[in-house]
A and B are shown apart, each in its own frame.
Chain A
Amino acid sequence: MRNMYLKKWAVLGLSFGAVFVAIIARAEAQPKGFLETIHRHATLASTSPGNGDLNPYALFVIQQDSGVLHKNDVLVTNFNNITNLQGTGTTIVAYHPETGNISEFANLPRDLPACPGGVGLTTALTVLKSGWVIVGSAPSKDGSTLTKGDGCLIVLNTKGQYVTAWKGPLINAPWGDIAALDRGDSATLFVSMSGYDLPGPYVKDPVTHYPPIIHKATVLRLDLTIPQGQVPVLQKQTVIASGFSARADRDNFLFGPTGLALDTDGTLYVTDGYDEAVTAIDNAVSRTDAVTRSDDAVGRIISRGGLLNWPLAMMWVPGHHLLVSNGRNGQVVEIDPVAKKQLYAQWIDNDQAQQPPGNGDLFGLAMTPDGKSFYYVEDDMNTLNISTP
C-alpha cells in the first residue's frame, strides 16, 4: 500500500516537473518572428497639414540631421488634396518624435512643368545620405485614372524646396516604395511604375466586368551620381522587371506593384499587389535586362496568396524577415523570404467601418530607429501610428 502511494506521488511529481520544464522552455523559446513581439498600437499625430491634404502614403525615417530635418524625424507624403481627390496631394509633413508635433516639410505647386499631369505624391519616397529628398508623383486631375498624368520623380533639398524633376518614357506613375542603395556620392534607386496604358476606372473588361488588367507595370532602377553639394544627376535608367499586373480602380485609384525591399545580396523583393504575391528579382543592382512575366509572375515567387491580401508596402524587420501591409484588410504579414513562408499576420487596424475591417487603410511602413517598433499610416483616419512591444 505504501509503495502505491509512493508511486502515485512520484508520478504526480514527475508530471508537474515535466509541465514546469515545458513552461520554462516555452518561455525561453526564441520568438519565431517579429510580430509576436508587438503588443501595443498608438496614434501619434494627424498627418494632414495646413492645406488640408489627406491620404498619407509613404513613410521615411530620417537617418541624420539634415537642413530643417533632424535625426529620427518621420516624413509622410499625402496623396490626396483637401477634397480627398486621389493624385492631387502636394505635401510632405514631418513628425518630430521629441515633441510629438507635425510640421509641413514641403508644399509643392499643384502643377510643375517638369512633371506631366501635375503633382500627386505617392509611396515613393527616400532621403539620401546627402540630404536630397526624392519623391514620386502619380498625378490626376479628377481623382481617377481617367485624367492620370505620367508623373515624375521630384528632387527636393533639405529645406523641402523643389529643385528638379525627372520624367521620361520609363517613368509612368511612380507608385511603389523606393528601395535604395546609397553610397553617399552615388546611389541606386528602385521604383515601381504602374501607370502604363491604364484606362479610366469605368472602362471594363467585357468578360470579367471589372477594369482590365494591364501587364505592363515595371520596376525601374535609377543610377545616380551625387556630386558634393550638388543636385543628384540621373545617370542611367534600367527597367529590371516588367509585366507586373496593374489595374485602374474606382475606389483605390489603381492596383500595382508597391512594396520594394532590397536585400544585401542584391535581390530585390517586390509586392505584386493585384496578383497577391511577393516575388524576387535576382541581381537587381547589376542586371541589365528585365525579368519578364512568366507563369503568371514576374520574378521568383517568394509567397503568394494565404495571408497576403493586396500586399502594399514592405520593409525588413529583425530576423531578416519581410513585413508587408495588406491593402484589403488591416493586417501586416510577416514573411521569411529564405524559407518562402508566411509566419503570421497581425491586425494593426480593426476599423469596422471598413469591410473587411481596415480595408484600404494601410500604406506606408517604416521601422523605428531602435529596431523594435514600427511606424505605419492609416489613410482613412489620416494619422501616423506606431506599433511597439
Chain B
Amino acid sequence: MTYSTPEKGCVAKRICCLSRILLTGTALTIFAGQAARAVPPRINIGNAAEAGDESSTGVFGFLSNWRRTANFLGDMWGLRPELGKYGAVLAMQETSEVFGNVSGGSRRGAAYNGLFQAVLQVNTQRAFGWYGGTFNVSMEQIHGRSLSADNLQVLQTVSGIEADRSTRLWELWFDQKFLDQQKLDIKIGQQSLDQEYMVSSNALVFANTMFGWPMVPSADLPGGGPAYPLSALGVRGRYWLATPLYLIGGVYSGSPTKHVDGDPQQTNPSGTSFPLNRGVMAIAELQYVYPALGAMVSPDEVEPLSHVYRLGGWYNSEPFADQYWDNSGTPLASPSSNGNALAHRGAFSIYAVMDQMLWRSHFDPNRTINVFGRAMGAPQSSRVPIDFSMNFGFTFKDPLPYRTDDTFGIGMGYTHVSHALAKYDKAVAYYTGQYSPAQTGETYLEMTYQFQYTGWLQIQPDFQYIFNPSGGVPNVNNPNRRVHDAAVFGLRTNIAL
C-alpha cells in the first residue's frame, strides 16, 4: 500500500483501508504493508577475491582450509580465478537470522528471515584495458518471514533484510571515473539509493532497518523509494569539489515500479520493471570528509580524528496524498468523504548525517570508538505519513584483544508520525466512536555484537527494545489497547560464500 499516490486505484485502497479502520476501529492498517526498508548487510567485493585456492582437491576440497578462507566456497572450483582473468569478481552472501519477541507486540514468537545476495562486478581495465570503468549487476533471493509485520506492529522493523519473499534483480549499472585524481565519476543504470545516499558507515553494523534507509523516505516515497529490495533507473554524479568537499547527486525514476497501485514488491516481482513513467526523484548530498587527500598533519598539534559529515535533500515529483483531507475538503475519516485524498504535487526532505571517530587506541589502532547520528525531516508534513526520523549511536570496533574485525554497537532510533496522520487517527475515533489513539513517535534501542568467527562467517547476537510501537496503535488482537512495548532478541549470521 502506498500513500504517496492519490490516483484512483490507491483511493480504492484507501477506502478499503478506511473500511477496515471503521471495522476494526484502528488506524493500524495505515501502515500495513508499509514496512520500512533498509540496506541489507553489505557484500565485501574485495573479500570475494580473497577466496583460497583449495578447491582443487575435489567437490568438498574447499573445506580443507575452512578457517582461513575469506569465502566459504573458496575459489569456487576455479571459477573465481577464471573470472579474475577477465577482471570480474563474483561475490555471494547469505544472511540468515532468527528474531523473536519475548514480550510486547501483538503476539509473541520467533521468525526466520533470510537474504541471499549475489554480485558480479567487472573492472573494465582488467577486462579490456578501459581505465576507470566498473560494471555491476546484483540479485537477491529473499526467504523466510517478517517478525515485524507478523508479531510486532512496528514502524522501524527489527531487521534490515525484511521484505517480501522473492527472487529479483537488484542493481544493474555502469560507473565511469573521469578527470585527474578521479575527481568525477558517473554512474548510470538501475540503482538502489541506499547504497550511497544518507549512509552512515558506522550504523551499518546494526540489524534494525532504520540504520540503513531511514524511515522518512521508506514511509513517504512511492514504493518506499528506490532502495532495497527495489531500485530505479537513473544517473548520478560524484564530484570532488575541493579538499575536503564532495558533492554527490542524481536523478532517478520517481518510483521503483510502473504500477500506481499495490505493493511495489509485488507489482515489480522480478525487479525488471524499469519504470520511466512515474515522475522524477532528484537527490543531492554534500559531504565533508576528514582526512582529505593531501591534508597536512603537524606533530605539534592534536590530530583530528576521522569524520564524515553529510548534508542532503531529495525531491520527488510524484503526487502525494494529503493525510487528512479529501479533494472535496472533507476529512478522509468522515463517512461522507469521497475517499479521494487531496493530491499534492511533489514532496521533499532534508537530512544530515554524521560519522565521527571519538577515540583510537595507540597500542592497537584498529580499536576505535565512534559516534554516528542522522536526522531528517519532511517539512510538508500534511502530505506524508512520517515527518521526522533520527538515529544515534556508538560503535566500538576491535573491542576485545586481537578481535580486529569485531564490532560492538549500541544505538537508538526515533520516528515521528506526521501531525496530519495523527489528526486523522483522532478523526477516526470521532466518526466511529471506537478506540483510535493519535499516533505519535516510536523509539527503539539496539545493542549488538558482530563477531567475525572466520573470514567468511559473522555471528551477531542482537537485542532491541521498541517503545510505543507504531507511535501507539491498537493491538489487532485487543483493539481497545495499544500494542505493548516489545523486547526482541535475535541472532544473525552473514556467510560470504
User: Could you list which residues of chain A lie within 8 angstroms of chain B, going by C-beta atoms?
Assistant: 35-36, 38-43, 45-46, 48, 50-52, 54, 81-85, 142-144, 204, 208-211, 250-251, 306-307, 309-310, 328-331, 342-350, 352-353, 355-359, 380
CB proximity to A under 8 Å, residues B375-411: 397, 400-402, 404-405
**Judging by beta carbons under 8 Å apart, are B52 and A83 in contact?**
yes
Instruction: Identify B294's interface contact among A81, A346, A353, A380, CB under 8 A.
Output: A346
**Judging by beta carbons under 8 Å apart, are B53 and A83 in contact?**
yes
Distance A342 CA – B80 CA, assembled complex (angstroms): 45
**Judging by beta carbons under 8 Å apart, are A42 and B50 in contact?**
no
**Chain A residues with CB under 8 A of B50:** 83-85
Instruction: Identify B368's interface contact among A251, A350, A356, CB under 8 A.
Output: A356
**Judging by beta carbons under 8 Å apart, are B49 and A82 in contact?**
yes
**Judging by beta carbons under 8 Å apart, are A144 and B297 in contact?**
no
Q: Is B75 an interface residue (CB 8 A)?
A: yes
Q: A22: shortest Cβ distance to chain B, in Å?
A: 21
**Judging by beta carbons under 8 Å apart, are B125 and A46 in contact?**
yes
Distance A23 CA – B183 CA, assembled complex (angstroms): 32
**Chain B residues with CB under 8 A of A54:** 49
Q: A347 and B180 in contact (CB under 8 A), knowing A355-B366, A357-B306?
A: no
**Judging by beta carbons under 8 Å apart, are A348 and B293 in contact?**
yes
Distance A45 CA – B132 CA, assembled complex (angstroms): 10
Closest A residue to B405 by beta carbon equals A251
Distance A210 CA – B80 CA, assembled complex (angstroms): 33
Q: Is B308 an interface residue (CB 8 A)?
A: yes
Closest A residue to B400 by beta carbon equals A209
**Chain A residues with CB under 8 A of B51:** 83-84
**Chain B residues with CB under 8 A of A210:** 364, 401-402
**Chain B residues with CB under 8 A of A380:** 46
Closest B residue to A88 by beta carbon equals B53
CB proximity to A under 8 Å, residues B286-308: 289, 291-299, 303, 306, 308
**Chain A residues with CB under 8 A of B57:** none
Q: B270: shortest Cβ distance to chain A, in Å?
A: 31
**Chain A residues with CB under 8 A of B131:** 45
**Chain B residues with CB under 8 A of A35:** 296
**Judging by beta carbons under 8 Å apart, are B365 and A329 in contact?**
yes
Distance A345 CA – B298 CA, assembled complex (angstroms): 6
**Judging by beta carbons under 8 Å apart, are B294 and A38 in contact?**
yes
**Chain B residues with CB under 8 A of A353:** 201
Instruction: Identify A41's interface contact among B53, B84, B125, B294, CB under 8 A.
Output: B294
Instruction: Identify B297's interface contact among A38, A46, A345, A359, CB under 8 A.
Output: A345
**Judging by beta carbons under 8 Å apart, are B291 and A330 in contact?**
yes
Instruction: Identify B402's interface contact among A211, A328, A358, CB under 8 A.
Output: A211
29 A–B contacts from the bound complex (CB under 8 Å): A40-B294, A42-B180, A46-B123, A51-B85, A52-B81, A52-B85, A52-B126, A83-B80, A84-B46, A84-B51, A142-B52, A142-B65, A209-B401, A251-B404, A307-B297, A330-B291, A331-B297, A344-B298, A345-B296, A348-B293, A352-B306, A352-B308, A353-B201, A355-B368, A356-B306, A356-B360, A356-B368, A358-B291, A359-B366
Distance A245 CA – B360 CA, assembled complex (angstroms): 23
**Judging by beta carbons under 8 Å apart, are A347 and B294 in contact?**
yes
Q: Is B70 an interface residue (CB 8 A)?
A: yes
**Chain B residues with CB under 8 A of A331:** 297
Q: Is B182 an interface residue (CB 8 A)?
A: yes
Other A-B contacts than A345-B296, A352-B306, 17 sampled, CB-CB below 8 A, are A40-B294, A41-B293, A42-B181, A45-B131, A82-B80, A208-B401, A209-B402, A307-B297, A344-B299, A346-B295, A347-B292, A348-B294, A350-B291, A355-B306, A356-B357, A357-B291, A359-B366
Q: A336: shortest Cβ distance to chain B, in Å?
A: 11
Q: Is B68 an interface residue (CB 8 A)?
A: yes
**Judging by beta carbons under 8 Å apart, are A85 and B52 in contact?**
yes
Distance A357 CA – B370 CA, assembled complex (angstroms): 13
Q: A250 and B404 in contact (CB under 8 A), knowing A328-B365, A356-B368?
A: yes
Most buried by A among B52, B84, B289, B293: B293
CB proximity to A under 8 Å, residues B98-127: 123, 125-126
**Judging by beta carbons under 8 Å apart, are B289 and A352 in contact?**
yes
Closest A residue to B51 by beta carbon equals A83
Q: A202: shortest Cβ distance to chain B, in Å?
A: 8
Closest A residue to B297 by beta carbon equals A345
**Judging by beta carbons under 8 Å apart, are A350 and B293 in contact?**
yes
Closest B residue to A308 by beta carbon equals B299
**Chain A residues with CB under 8 A of B405:** 251
**Chain B residues with CB under 8 A of A38:** 294
**Judging by beta carbons under 8 Å apart, are A307 and B299 in contact?**
yes
**Judging by beta carbons under 8 Å apart, are B180 and A84 in contact?**
no
**Chain B residues with CB under 8 A of A329:** 365
**Chain B residues with CB under 8 A of A36:** 296
**Judging by beta carbons under 8 Å apart, are A309 and B295 in contact?**
no
**Chain A residues with CB under 8 A of B181:** 40-43
**Judging by beta carbons under 8 Å apart, are A350 and B360 in contact?**
no
Q: What 5 A-B pairs come out closest when comparing CB atoms?
A: A209-B401, A84-B50, A347-B291, A52-B84, A345-B297
**Chain A residues with CB under 8 A of B84:** 52, 82
**Judging by beta carbons under 8 Å apart, are A344 and B297 in contact?**
yes
Q: A309 and B291 in contact (CB under 8 A), knowing A35-B296, A52-B84?
A: no
Distance A309 CA – B49 CA, assembled complex (angstroms): 28
**Chain A residues with CB under 8 A of B303:** 307
Q: A81 and B53 in contact (CB under 8 A), knowing A36-B296, A347-B294?
A: yes
Q: A346 and B296 in contact (CB under 8 A), knowing A142-B52, A328-B365, A352-B306?
A: yes
**Chain A residues with CB under 8 A of B292:** 347, 350
Distance A344 CA – B303 CA, assembled complex (angstroms): 11
Q: B112: shortest Cβ distance to chain A, in Å?
A: 31
CB proximity to A under 8 Å, residues B24-51: 46, 49-51
Distance A81 CA – B296 CA, assembled complex (angstroms): 34
Distance A352 CA – B289 CA, assembled complex (angstroms): 9
Contact code string B398-433 (vs A, CB < 8 Å = 1, else 0) = 001110110000000000000000000000000000
**Chain B residues with CB under 8 A of A359:** 365-366
Distance A202 CA – B289 CA, assembled complex (angstroms): 36
Closest B residue to A211 by beta carbon equals B402
Distance A349 CA – B357 CA, assembled complex (angstroms): 17
Q: A84: shortest Cβ distance to chain B, in Å?
A: 4
**Chain B residues with CB under 8 A of A357:** 291, 306
Distance A331 CA – B296 CA, assembled complex (angstroms): 9
